[in-house]
Homo-oligomer: A and B are copies of this chain.
Amino acid sequence: MFYHDNKLQYPVRVDTPSPVFAKMLQQAIGGVEGEIRVALQYLFQSFGSRGPTKYRDMLMDTGTEELAHIQMLATAVALNLEGSPASVQEAAARENPMVAAVMGGMEPRQYLSAGMAALAADANGVPFNGSHVYASGNIVADMYSNVAAEATGRVLACRLFDMTDDPGMKDMLRYLIARDTMHQQQWLAVIEELGGYQANLPIPNSFDQGQELLEVSYDFFATGIDGIETPAGRWTSGPSLDGKGEYRVRRSVPFGEEPKLAPPSPSGYAQSQQMTGAAQAQSDTPITGRPSDEDRNL
């Protein structure tokens, strides 16, 4: 279970409030790269953790930390919405500086729905969506989901860092960026501890690989039409990263035939022509898709 104290994990200070920046910070709260997502993701991974308990406990440690980041960012939003920002100077003469701020490009619901505070939503006001809480029950799949979340999360934080000149906001972001640095390497360290690529790939490693169609397990399929080249890379030749195969490039051609579905059932209420039309359709003369050579002479 959970406890709190009344302080912030790291100081949150805003020297020059900016309603536009308050809007941008929402992405780090309720966006797909945001803190609600990682907090819930790590906690749900912990709640459902099976196997060695050390990972469950570690996930609980970090999921709990992320809750504090939501708090920091929500506080930053609230502080950025206070007072009258310079960028809407021309509105300052009006009786209501909030109105001017809203008119000047802020997230309208931070005022209309929240009275100058943060929302559980992203920078466009799209509500947080729980489907981004990835907790698959496979620890390595989960660790890669976590790395992905922290990688996009740190990219986001760096972009936010570039969008502000406010020393307080920059200081807060320096802290959050550092924590993302750690978390990226924390999740990758779990994979290393578990044996790295060779022990863990392909994920899940508990599926008998003899069951899969090994013939195509290490093939790069080039899907370009005739004449389109595919670039060479680490993934086109040489040993695969799991040490169990050899990469190669292969032309992507159909192994299957045309799909053939049964005619519609009466209860499906297709048009009656769909049910009787097979014969009629056959009488149509198919034509090639290439009747003219002047194709590019617009």
Contact = CB atoms under 8 A, between A and B. Distances in A.
A252 B78 contact: no
Interface residues of A, number: 210
Interface string A235-251: 11000111000011111
A98 B234 CA distance: 34
Contacts of A288: 222, 229-230
Contact of A205 (B250, B271, B290): B271
Given A36-B40, A132-B131, A193-B234, A61 B162 contact: no
A297 B63 CA distance: 24
Interface string A196-209: 01011111111101
Contacts of A116: 48, 50, 137, 264-265, 268
A1 to B, nearest CB: 4
Contacts of A224: 3-6, 60-61, 289
Given A98-B268, A163-B102, A178-B214, A48 B261 contact: yes
B184 A202 contact: yes
A98 B162 contact: yes
A118 interface: yes
A231 B58 contact: yes
A58 B225 contact: no
Contact of A182 (B20, B216, B231): B216
Given A9-B256, A178-B212, A269-B138, A30 B159 contact: no
A99 interface: yes
Given A67-B67, A103-B20, A119 B133 contact: yes
Most chain B CB inside 10 Å of its own CB: which residue of A120, A122, A200: A120
A-B pairs, top 4 by smallest CB distance, nearest first, are A115-B137, A222-B289, A48-B117, A124-B125
Nearest to A202: B181
Contact of A52 (B47, B141, B274, B292): B274
Contacts of A152: 113, 134, 136, 138, 141, 145
A286 to B, nearest CB: 4
Interface in A239-288: 240-242, 247-259, 261-275, 277-278, 280-281, 284-288
A115 B223 contact: no
B147 A75 contact: no
Interface string A5-26: 1111111100000001001100
Given A20-B103, A96-B267, A213-B298, 4 more contacts: A44-B119, A49-B261, A115-B137, A140-B271
